[in-house]
Structure 1
Amino acid sequence: MDQDALSDVVRHLRPSGAIASGFQAGGDWALRFDDQQRRIKCYGVTRGSCLLTIDGMATPRRIQKGDCFILPRGRTFVLASDLSLTQTDAAKVFAQGADGSVQLNDGEGFSLVGCRFAVDAPHREALLEGIPPVIHLTRTPDQDSLISDIKQMIHESRSTRPGSRLMADHLAHMVLLHAFRAAVELHPEQAGWLAALGDPRLGPVVASMHGDPAHRWTLADLARLSGMSRSAFAAAFRARTGATPMAYLDRWRMVLAAEKLVSGTRVAAIAVETGYASESSFSVAFKRVTGLSPRAFVKAHKEPGS
């Protein structure tokens, strides 16, 4: 069975603690969303349009009815009818909302639905590294499904029915899958390293690395899977992902290793499961990728109650 690398990525991100809400605005308005605490946010515009700017992004984006956008890096951002207006702290505005809905002014000109969730992966940065701070989706088949998922999340957040918390967390997985899949298939220029998953030559290579991380992969093995020469494959892989094939493989192995470490698996066992000849060679590789020894990583990321 072929490995589904995108499912792997979303599963290991472990989105949880999902919160969803609606927002309506009229007239002139500008909201600044500070201190995102490394949460991922997803939005769908259901009426009107607005401008979006993100810290570190040179050019604002015009977001229109039907568009969806995802903010995977947790940076400060601004939504506004006019970016020259004085910005209001969004946290204060949303603190006044009730029943998962907030309105500014008459609420007649613009509306969106949105959700946010924490990412509990112990090696979060390795999974999100290289993904742009915004993915802006226009005219994609997944947009309606994504907006529908967010609306259902709002409904679940208001619900007192049994299972509503788990339902919201499962919907967070669906939102991410819809968003990333649309980016990979239709907006690869916005998908960062995820674009490799949709590449007909590189996709099978990434799937193979995900499917058998313990295999002693060589550059020649991976190039053969792509149907390219070693030099052409290495250049194409780096152009798509921003990393060499072996660096990507090391990074993926460390994502798996990080989860096993915080769950209490012994280092010797993890070394075997991630393709290293010895515990010491694994520890050297782990520190090279994460900046911490396995022992220090466990201490820094120990799960509550473990």
Structure 2
Amino acid sequence: MDRLSTLLDHFHVRASLFHTGPLCGRTVFEAQPDRAFLHVLRRGELQIEHPGRRGTPRGELKARLVVTEPTVLLYPRAVHHTFVNPPTDGSDFTCATLHFDGGDRNPIVAALPALLRVPLDAVPGLQPALDLLFAETDRARCGSRLLADRLFEVVLIQLLRWVIDHPHAVGVTHGLVMGLNDPRLARALVALHDAPQDDWPLARMAAVAGMSRSAFAESFKAATGTTPSAYLTDWRLTLASARLRDGHPQKLVAADLGFSTASSLSRAFKQRFGRAPRDWLQGQG
């Protein structure tokens, strides 16, 4: 069962290498809308500062963190952070910015904490991809930058795969990741992701999960923090917002995603986003 591909097919992520080598002294990474960061600490030690210890839906970032081993650091949302390294002979990094389609509304982004801090040796199979990445970033060759960008995306997918299997290791206790961590709930979630336009009564969802309706509804709510029907509506609206922003007609979007009419999509959209689709699109522009 592939728990990630449909999500990434609908909401692409693009990586862009911007640094490889030592970082010395203080390096500030400003928070900018819809810009994420993926840092790989290859060698050395690092102190991270988070001014204001900003709170997030997934908890509060610590004001200071010390990293003492090779580690991957993923900031899936816009978070101001500062790396503090020795003034000379700083620690060695390879870093990329990430653009997740939909920004904070991307379901993967919304399901993750503000910072994922994972030692490199904790993720099986990650090292071969990193070896290829470092080989491309350490020596300039034809196509190296483009290949490095794609390899960063491979590293991200491997990291996300590991997080789904080890949510508590990164502080995830509820939400989409917890649902995908449960094999029974994951079967239902993958089916919803694959066919949002279908009719999905509770009985059908429970049957896909191989559970009774009551057990499925209770387990789903405990894992994700929402009801199955509310999750389905939210998934459809998340897809609708992406397609509307790409210029698809509202009537066609409604039909493709299981809404009875364009008006029913508009009502649900306004309830979720606070504005009708047309007004919301103008705000996006």
Fold match by TM threshold 0.5 = yes
Q: CA deviation at 1:215?
A: 1.0
- Structure 2 residue corresponding to 1:184, chosen from 158, 164, 172: 164
- Give CA-to-partner distance per residue, 1:111-158, whole Å, 9 cap, x none: 222211223x246424222321011223111431453465366469x5
Mapping 1:1-306, distance limit 5 Å: 4-16=2-14, 18-25=16-23, 29-54=25-50, 55-56=53-54, 57-59=60-62, 60-80=64-84, 105-107=87-89, 110-119=91-100, 121-122=101-102, 124-127=104-107, 128-138=109-119, 139-145=122-128, 147-148=130-131, 150-151=133-134, 154=137, 161=142, 167-190=147-170, 191=172, 193-301=176-284
* Unaligned ranges ≥5, structure 1: 82-103
Which residue type is aligned with residue 69 of structure 2? K
Q: CA deviation at 1:252?
A: 1.7
Give the structure, 1 or 2, with the largest relative contact order (CA under 8 Å, sep 6 or more): 1
Aligned length in residues: 271
Task: Calculate the aligned-residue CA RMSD, in Å.
Answer: 2.9
SS in 1 for 2:183: coil
User: Conserved in 1, the CA contact under 8 Å of 2:123 and 2:159?
Assistant: no
Distance verdict in 2 for CA 1:52–1:214, change over 3 Å: same
Q: CA deviation at 1:201?
A: 1.4
User: Conserved in 2, the CA contact under 8 Å of 1:286 and 1:292?
Assistant: yes
Q: Provide the TM-score with structure 2 as the length reference.
A: 0.80
For 2:29 and 2:182, locate their aligned partners in 1 and report how far apart those are by CA, in whole Å.
Answer: 35
- Give CA-to-partner distance per residue, 1:72-129, whole Å, 9 cap, x none: 0121123235xxxxxxxxxxxxxxxxxxxxxx63315x2222211223x246424222
Distance verdict in 2 for CA 1:17–1:174, change over 3 Å: closer
SS in 2 for 1:116: strand
* Unaligned ranges ≥5, structure 2: 55-59
User: Conserved in 1, the CA contact under 8 Å of 2:71 and 2:117?
Assistant: yes
Q: CA deviation at 1:251?
A: 2.1
